[in-house]
């Protein structure tokens, strides 16, 4: 029988306050996992507690900057002491800055890479020893279609997410023998409050130009939802994926497989 149960497992979802991270944490909880999340401001930690409470989910939140190695070590030690050894890590925390490359300063570029690539390295490095001792572990890195594609204004994000794909493969290569599976999820364009302005109907009744662009590039003919990521996350966090390692599962409605519609 295929085992999708996460009963008794401890899952850390970085940045799991809302959006994709919250949806994945909800799915893991529904499958039986204990949820731990973090944010880098107390305001967002409190928001996370409120969101989980409204959803009827017990979760423990930490104020922790995932780019700070010592802070991450302290958080992981506290989780291990009070909740249990981390069985599942979801490296979800991330940012994007949409700035043309020649206009982007190095400080901004480094900040994106630090949060989107260096932080997953730091957190994975902190949890892997406990996973080795326990004899198993699941690491899910939230990659992106920009792990495969380039696009205007996202040079830092694409560089970081491309690097995260290769970090995923390298963790697989180094720690697969310890029964640790490291895979990625690459979301397509997801309908969230942050993308709502890009989906607003225009005064003339037409779709927003970017909305039209995404729909035309997606064989599914729609934006994704955070709920579309829940099943893939449970699969990659469960025993059902024990022989899946170093893979990025793109949940994109088929965009990466599609060249796009022929102009009329």
Point out the residues that are catalytic: 157
**Half-sphere exposure of 3 toward its Cβ, with a 13 Å CA cutoff?**
8
State the Cα–Cα distance between residues 103 and 126, nearest whole angstrom. Answer: 35
Residues 6 or more apart whose Cβ sits within 8 Å of residue 185: 140, 141, 142, 143, 229, 232, 233, 236, 248, 249, 250, 251
Residue 34 pairs in a beta bridge with 10
Q: CA-based angle 147:12:161, to the nearest 5?
A: 10
Backbone φ and ψ of 219, nearest 5°: -55, -35
* Strands (DSSP E) found in the chain: 10-14, 34-39, 59-63, 88-91, 137-142, 180-187, 248-251
Q: How many CB atoms lie within 10 A of CB 215?
A: 17
State the Cα–Cα distance between residues 214 and 197, nearest whole angstrom. Answer: 14
Strand, helix or coil at 59?
A: strand
State the Cα–Cα distance between residues 195 and 131, nearest whole angstrom. Answer: 36
State the Cα–Cα distance between residues 233 and 20, nearest whole angstrom. Answer: 11
């Amino acid at each position: 029988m295929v085992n999708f149960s996460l009963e008794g497992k401890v899952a850390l979802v970085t940045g799991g306050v809302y959006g994709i991270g919250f949806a994945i944490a909800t799915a893991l909880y529904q499958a039986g996992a204990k949820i731990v999340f973090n944010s880098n401001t107390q305001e967002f930690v409190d928001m996370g507690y409120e969101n989980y409470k409204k959803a009827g989910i017990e979760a423990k939140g930490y104020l922790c900057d995932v780019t700070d190695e010592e802070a991450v070590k302290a958080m992981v030690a506290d989780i291990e002491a009070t909740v249990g050894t981390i069985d599942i890590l979801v490296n979800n925390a991330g940012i994007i800055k949409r700035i043309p490359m020649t206009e982007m300063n190095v400080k901004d570029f480094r900040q994106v890479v630090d949060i989107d690539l260096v932080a997953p390295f730091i957190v994975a490095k902190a949890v892997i020893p406990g996973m080795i001792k326990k004899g198993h572990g699941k690491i899910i890195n939230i990659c992106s279609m920009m792990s495969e594609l380039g696009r205007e204004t996202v040079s830092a994000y694409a560089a970081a997410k491309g690097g995260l794909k290769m970090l995923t493969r390298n963790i697989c290569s180094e720690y697969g023998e310890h029964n640790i599976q490291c895979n990625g999820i690459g979301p397509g364009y997801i309908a969230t409050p942050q993308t709502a302005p890009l989906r607003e109907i225009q005064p003339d009744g037409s779709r927003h130009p970017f909305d039209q662009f995404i729909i035309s590039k997606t064989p599914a003919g729609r934006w994704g939802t955070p709920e579309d990521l829940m099943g893939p996350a449970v699969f990659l966090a469960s025993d059902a994926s024990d022989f899946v390692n170093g893979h990025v599962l793109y949940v994109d409605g088929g965009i990466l497989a599609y060249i796009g519609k022929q102009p009329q």
